[in-house]
Amino acid sequence: MYITTTIPYVNARPHLGHALELVQADVLARHHRRRGEPVRFQTGTDDNSLKNVLAAEAAGVGVRELVDRNAAAFEGLRGALDLSFDSFIRTSTHPGHRAGVERIWRATAHDLYTRHYEGLYCVGCEQFYPEGPCPDGHEAPLQQVSETNWFFRLSRYQDELLDLIRSGRLRVEPAARRNEVLAFVAAGLDDISVSRSAARARGWGIPVPGDPAQVVYVWWDALANYVTALDDAGYERWWVREPRKVHLVGKGVIRFHAVYWPAMLLSAGLPLPTAIFVHDYLTAGGRKISKSSGNAADPAALVHAYGVDAVRWWLLREVPRVGDADFTDARLVARADEDLANGLGNLVSRVAVMVCRFLDGHVPPAGEPLAEVSREVHEALEDVDFRRAARAVWQLVEGANAYVERTRPWQQDTAGREKSLGTLVGACRELAVQLEPFLPGAAARVAAAVGGDRLSRPEPLFPRLSRP
């Protein structure tokens, strides 16, 4: 499976919303790797956005400097969040990116034409509007622009796109999002502008082949990363031969991924992605998270404060498949204490201690499995429902804790203790296996605590985050 995240533009540092998408992609990648499937997990940054130029000007630093600094912060999420991406592309520095964008441009030449355009342009949106003000409320005033741009014949692909999505050859999940896209396409597609004046872009971006006065529209540039990130062999393997190509995207950019991108590929005669998984947004304390609104919900800071397991667990266990989710520190702490400390951590602790206390640390033979959850986890992930998958894993924790109460090893003779503790150690080991895609660090610690023939009393795996 080829799994991608969107590549955020790096006008600021990453926020929790980026972390959500990365962690979701990471779970899919780890899950499918665990199943023995070939996986390539791709992410990166969009360095070529005009917004980066503006952010640099506002901050009084060079574009290169700002872009490098912020891109490094995004790439640094790998360590902070235990991400397992195979490659990280930066559109301004990746060796093959520019050439790849140019190649796709040329391959679609039969659908490109120039048109004079006059209108109001919002640099914040990188879009034209018939009237002001900018609907997104960007600070910068709309600019009166009169120029000639390149246009792409998107209108030509309307029927093909409808057929693609309706037939499921291009899967869009959740269904509500698929319907949204279908409604948009069915309403009629206009050709889109796919270049910008190089002068207004301050020379930042990729020049249009054969027209250096124009730079390639940043979305065209950015979308291409899904194939330009791959070298020739990689392209063949992951974009031509791979049967499952999945884009994870936020709800705000569905149109680009489910309409523009497939149309570009159709025009260029290239293979298409097979699925687009759309997540909704996070709010923080009831307020919209935006990169410009300060450093609220900084994932690296949250990891520093609460640990990677708590942060990943909140993102996976608490965020619904449909609908925005509100993040607060209190919710993260409550969820971590309830599930990780009181549930999983305490379970491992009581099991290990009983083995030490009653069986002198010797691990008895494994008993019957307590619950079978791998299938439910898999089905939930196929359905792109991370919360349901995480909940399924937790059935093991609850089942094991209930089993302890039911069998009461402390009241049994040695044979009884061996039987129930054998079952419990087995359950903890299974838990470590099932947990790996979600909380790789925690899974490893659980595995270490209950691995081997002899156990010792473990330190608390997950100390409570709140004061008792």
Residues that bind RNA (CB under 7 A): 129-131, 135, 176, 179-180, 183-184, 251-252, 254-255, 281, 288, 318, 320-326, 334, 338, 341-346, 348-350, 353-354, 357, 398, 401-402, 404-405, 408-411, 460-464, 468
Report how far residue 232's alpha carbon sits from residue 224's, in angstroms, rounded to the nearest whole number.
14
Q: How far is the CB of 392 from RNA (least distance, A)?
A: 13
Q: Is 97 a catalytic residue?
A: no
Identify which of residues 93 and 412 has a Cβ nearer to RNA in the complex: 412
Task: Measure CA of the first residue to CA of the last residue in the chain; give whole Å.
Answer: 44
Give yes or no for a contact between 109 and 237, defined as CB atoms under 8 angstroms apart.
no
Identify which of residues 84 and 412 has a Cβ nearer to RNA in the complex: 412
Identify which of residues 76 and 399 has a Cβ nearer to RNA in the complex: 399
Q: How far is the CB of 63 from RNA (least distance, A)?
A: 26
Q: Using the 8-state DSSP alphabet, how is residue 134 labeled?
A: -
H helix and E strand count, the chain = 20, 16
Q: Is 122 a catalytic residue?
A: yes
Q: Is 288 a catalytic residue?
A: yes
b/e code 145-184 from CB counts within 10 Å (16+ = b): bebebbbbbbeebbeebeebbeeeebbbbbeebbebbbee
Q: How far is the CB of 388 from RNA (least distance, A)?
A: 8
Q: Is 32 a catalytic residue?
A: no
Q: Is 138 a catalytic residue?
A: yes
Q: Is 18 a catalytic residue?
A: yes
- Beta bridge pairs of residue 128: 121
Q: Is 304 a catalytic residue?
A: no
Q: State the alpha helices, DSSP H only, in 38-85.
A: 50-59, 63-75, 77-81
Identify which of residues 157 and 462 has a Cβ nearer to RNA in the complex: 462
Give the residue carrying structure tokens 């971006």: 205
Side-chain-side CA neighbours of 243 within 13 Å: the count stands at 2
Report how far residue 282's alpha carbon sits from residue 19's, in angstroms, rounded to the nearest whole number.
10
Q: How far is the CB of 40 from RNA (least distance, A)?
A: 29
Identify which of residues 167 and 411 has a Cβ nearer to RNA in the complex: 411
Which of 193, 221, 226 has the alpha carbon at shortest distance from 206?
221
Q: How far is the CB of 458 from RNA (least distance, A)?
A: 8
Q: How far is the CB of 7 from RNA (least distance, A)?
A: 18
Q: How far is the CB of 181 from RNA (least distance, A)?
A: 8
Report how far residue 19's alpha carbon sits from residue 209's, in angstroms, rounded to the nearest whole number.
35
Identify which of residues 125 and 301 has a Cβ nearer to RNA in the complex: 125
Report how far residue 33's alpha carbon sits from residue 40's, in angstroms, rounded to the nearest whole number.
9
Q: Which residues make Cβ contacts (< 8 Å) with residue 154, sequence separation at least 6?
A: 189, 190, 191, 192, 259, 260, 263
Q: Is 428 a catalytic residue?
A: no
Identify which of residues 180 and 376 has a Cβ nearer to RNA in the complex: 180
Give the amino acid at 313.
W
Q: Are strands 171-173 and 207-208 parallel, antiparallel or unpaired?
A: unpaired
Report how far residue 334's alpha carbon sits from residue 329's, in angstroms, rounded to the nearest whole number.
8
32, 51, 94, 122: the catalytic one is 122
138, 251, 378, 419: the catalytic one is 138
Q: How far is the CB of 234 from RNA (least distance, A)?
A: 31
32, 94, 134, 279: the catalytic one is 134
97, 257, 291, 428: the catalytic one is 291
Which of 49, 41, 39 has the alpha carbon at shortest distance from 81?
41
Identify which of residues 238 and 314 has a Cβ nearer to RNA in the complex: 314
Catalytically annotated residues: 15, 18, 122, 125, 134, 138, 288, 291
